[in-house]
């Protein structure tokens, strides 16, 4: 055990460099090697100029690194370096495949620590000034994604919650809208679509559930979709839109 390094699973947050935690930034500055997601920005990687950087991105519809390969790289690098960072967009423990990486490291007898990050849903709520909960309107929130492991069926139950937040929204959000309408959700239910949360090219679109069911403009970055009556624009936000 003493011959092995320690691995830190660190959440980079939604993208902006100054939204990573102080602990995360401090560890990045000390890391010998950083295995990072495709969604981690170049600006974020400037925090670890001394480190060997290994891209292990996973992007839908694009060539990406298999999870088993990432797991093995983490184990191998812990055998070569004392401080290894696995840098993930958002928070490692939410849609970050942390369970698979934790299992691989624990089975290899490698010490591992998780450093939380700001998950995209919370960053999106802040960026749009749109609370996910609202007294008398929404007291429950569900985060979900359409992505599933290959061994599981693609069809998943829709969460039952006042506010729904769909990660990796894009085309999958259109299917979500169709299903929600079929289940009786009001067509005028407010929807906020946000692309590239917290980045200079951030884009916010306010539409309805019925409009979402008819499609979204092509996106050039990660998309998050927030649905529910808590998403209703306040009077001064009415001018916001596509």
> Is 99 a residue of the active site?
no
Note if 18 is an active site residue. Answer: no
Which of 58, 134, 162, 240 is the catalytic position? Answer: 58
Check: CB of residue 30 under 8 Å from CB of residue 23.
no
Q: Catalytic amino acids? A: 37, 58
């Amino acid at each position: 055990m003493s011959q092995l390094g320690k691995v830190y699973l660190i959440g980079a947050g939604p993208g902006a460099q100054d939204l990573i935690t102080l602990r995360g930034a401090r560890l990045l500055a000390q890391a010998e090697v950083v295995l990072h997601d495709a969604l981690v920005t170049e600006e974020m990687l400037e925090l670890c100029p001394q480190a060997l950087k290994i891209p292990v991105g996973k992007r839908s519809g694009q060539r990406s690194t298999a999870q088993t390969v990432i797991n093995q790289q983490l184990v191998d690098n812990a055998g070569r370096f004392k401080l290894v960072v696995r840098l993930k967009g958002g928070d490692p423990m939410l849609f970050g495949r942390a369970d698979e990486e934790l299992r691989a490291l624990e089975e290899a007898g490698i010490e591992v620590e998780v450093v939380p990050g700001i998950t995209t849903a919370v960053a999106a709520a802040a960026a749009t000034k749109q609370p996910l909960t609202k007294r008398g309107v929404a007291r429950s929130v569900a985060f979900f994604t359409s992505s599933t492991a290959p061994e599981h069926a693609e069809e998943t139950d829709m969460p039952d919650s006042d506010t729904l937040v769909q990660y990796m929204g894009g085309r999958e959000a259109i299917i979500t809208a169709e299903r929600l309408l079929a289940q009786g959700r009001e067509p005028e239910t407010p929807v906020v679509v946000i692309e590239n949360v917290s980045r200079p090219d951030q884009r916010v679109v306010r539409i309805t559930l019925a409009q979402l069911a008819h499609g979204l403009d092509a996106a050039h970055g990660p998309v998050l979709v927030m649905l529910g009556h808590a998403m209703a624009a306040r009077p001064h936000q009415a001018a916001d839109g596509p």
